[in-house]
Amino acid sequence: MNDTIRNVVRRAVMVAGMFVAAASVAAAHHGFAVFDTSSQKTITGTVKLFEWTNPHTWVWLDVPNDKGGVDTWGFEGMSPNFLGRRGWTRKTLQPGDKITVTYFGMKDGSKGGAFLSCKRPNGDELKMFGASPTEDN
């Protein structure tokens, strides 16, 4: 084989390898393997922070514990792009908002999970998948 053909083959193999590696990373990133999707749970607390960041939003919730203090729970949500197309904004959830979150818990039992939806005290429901929040968000 001459050097030109050898270089073309080498480059093709390298490019194919990069695509395989990128696909593996993407599949791992978008997996739900860390979440226990066998049952939905709910928890009530006060929004500490709503992170409107890529690739996923995060809701940090202060939840009262049985010792009289609070524990901070973290819930991973959909991307700002996905949520923005459904009416969400970076101000949809504000620090101090009291909400009840429905989520898939973590398999390891840590404080957090995959954010599915939440209810405000007035009954408004905000969903991560599909439904839009109300107009005044």
Q: Are residues 71 and 12 in the same domain?
A: no
Count of structural domains, the chain: 2
Task: Tell me, yes or no, whether 2 lies in a domain.
Answer: yes
The most distant pair of C-alpha atoms in the chain lies apart, rounded to whole Å, by 76
The per-residue pLDDT string of the chain (137 residues; one tens digit each, 9 = 90 and over) reads 677 776 655 665 554 444 434 344 444 455 678 999 999 999 999 999 999 999 999 999 999 999 999 999 999 999 999 999 988 999 999 999 999 999 999 999 999 999 999 999 899 999 987 644 544 44
CATH number of residue 76's parent domain: 2.40.50.1010
Same domain membership, residue 101 and residue 78: yes
Q: Containing domain of residue 115, as a range?
A: 35-127
State whether 59 and 118 are in the same domain.
yes
Between strands 58-64 and 98-106, the pairing is unpaired
Q: Which residues of 102-111 are buried (b: 16+ CB within 10 A; e: fewer)?
A: bbbbbeeeee
Q: Does 136 reside within a domain?
A: no
pTM passes above 0.75: no
Other residues' Cβ atoms within 10 Å of the Cβ of residue 96:
9
